[in-house]
Amino acid sequence: MRHIESKNMENSIGQRTKEVTTSKINNDNFTLNIHVSKLKRTTHALSKNYDIKKYLTPEAFSFSPEISELIPKDTPPYLDNGEKYVERIARALAFFKQCALIGPSGTGKTHIVYLVAELAGLPLWEINCGLQTSVFDLFGRYVGLGKENWIDGLITSWSRYGGILYLDEANMMKQDIATRLNPILDQRGHMVLTEKDNEIIQRHKDAFLIISMNPVSSEFAGTKPINAAMRRRMSVWLNFDYMSVGPKIDDKEIDLLMKKTSNLSRQDAEILVKVGAELRKQYKTGDLPYGPSIGDLLNWAMLISDGTALIDAAEETIISLTSDDVEIQDVVRKIVRKIAGI
């Protein structure tokens, strides 16, 4: 029996919806409950400018209909500066089965994982390691009295069925969870369910792992270096950064803001990207607590495109977003005014 419930929520831009899907699969041996959040785009088709079929192709994989529900849909394209992140991630998964992504918040690490999963036709199992998720939630547990009803956790389900296991904020992972992952990520290729009479679960032949993390620093509370055992199992490490930082301005960000809005002038688009680049520089040096993503700049641009004055739109978006501290907000306000010449 399978039961699916979906709820769609549209944001103020009207272009992205979030679908929360609950699937329940029953058979004689176990019950699997899947809760998945998928970002959906309603106005833009997936870009076809990615060449990953040399490494991963949907025709090579086969999943049951229930698990296929976890393949992302309608993921927007990813912009980079020629680094070919999509192809490099696909290559790492094909050669080594796992890889790591490192970079500050807002640089598109999660976005690109969704894109790779969709292009390759792979189900995506996502875990945010910064949340207080228990070992039981991730590996499984018995429900009720006795040992009649076992429920697989997300990691166990991934190992059984395959797809991409995405561990976000992996350097906030609890040590007991990291230790449990080690056997399945090396040549042994299996996990031991100590909670279920030491049952051995072999890693599915199409089970891939991607971890992502912010750089270890005091600005990211709770982060810590990945332990040596986990580092050895990540064969490829890809570093992400913002497209525009400090004096380095990328015209593609300017073009994107103009493309996504109807009435934004190029002059205003340049101001927004220059402000974002300066805020990102100060964020990376520890002077500000947050660096804006391209999505944050787009929110600002949308209000300007709707007729709101640039500085007023900044107050509602980029200034308040950076911090609740009024002194920090004033620093951001001065940066906006200086770059905009107000």
The domain segmentation of the chain, as residue ranges, is 5-239, 251-340
- Collapsed DSSP state (helix, strand, coil) of residue 172: helix
pLDDT value at 220 more than 80: no
Task: Give the list of residues 6+ apart from residue 40 with CB closer than 8 angstroms, or none.
Answer: 8, 16, 17, 18, 19, 73, 74
Q: State the pLDDT at residue 154.
A: 92
Amino acid symbol at 53: K
Q: How much is the pLDDT for 223? A: 58
Half-sphere exposure of 76 (CA within 13 A, CB side): 17
pLDDT in the model for residue 137: 79
Round to whole Å and give the CA distance between 341 and 306.
Answer: 21
**Band of pLDDT at residue 81, cut at 50, 70 and 90:** confident
CB atoms within 10 A of CB 176: 9
Rank 11-25, 161-175, 199-213 by mean pLDDT and report only the highest. Answer: 199-213
- Looking at the DSSP assignment, which residues form a beta bridge with residue 201? 191
Distance CA 334, CA 282 (A): 13
Among candidate residues 46, 94, 109, the one with its CA nearest the CA of residue 238: 109
pLDDT-derived band at 216 (thresholds 50, 70, 90) equals: low
Of 170, 285, 334, 304, which is closest to residue 237 (Cα–Cα)? 170
How far CA 150 is from CA of 125, 177, 191, 220, 295, in Å, comes to 19, 19, 16, 36, 41
**336 close to 275: Cβ distance less than 8 angstroms:** yes
Question: Higher confidence at residue 175 or residue 284?
Answer: 284
At the second CATH level, the architecture of 5-239 is 3-Layer(aba) Sandwich (3.40)
Per-residue model confidence (pLDDT) at position 113: 97
Q: What is the pLDDT of residue 132?
A: 64
Residues sharing a CB contact under 8 Å with residue 197, sequence separation 6 or more, in sequence order? none
**Cα angle value 243/51/93 (rounded, 5°):** 85
Tokens of 160: 């059984």
Higher-confidence position of 240 and 222: 240
Checking if the pLDDT of 140 tops 70, the result is: yes
Return the pLDDT at 217: 53
Query: Residue 213: pLDDT above 60?
Result: yes
Q: Confidence band (pLDDT; 50, 70, 90) for 238?
A: very high
> Does residue 88 carry a pLDDT above 80?
yes
Note the Cα 329 to chain centre separation in Å.
Answer: 27
Residue 250 pLDDT class (50, 70, 90 cuts): very high
C-alpha to C-alpha distance for 304 and 301, rounded to whole angstroms: 5
Mean per-residue pLDDT of the chain? 83
> pLDDT tier at 50 (50, 70, 90 boundaries)?
confident
The token duo for 249 is 């301005």
| pLDDT at residue 27 tops 50 | no
* pLDDT computed for residue 118 by the predictor: 95
Given a cut of 60, whether residue 268 has pLDDT beyond it is yes
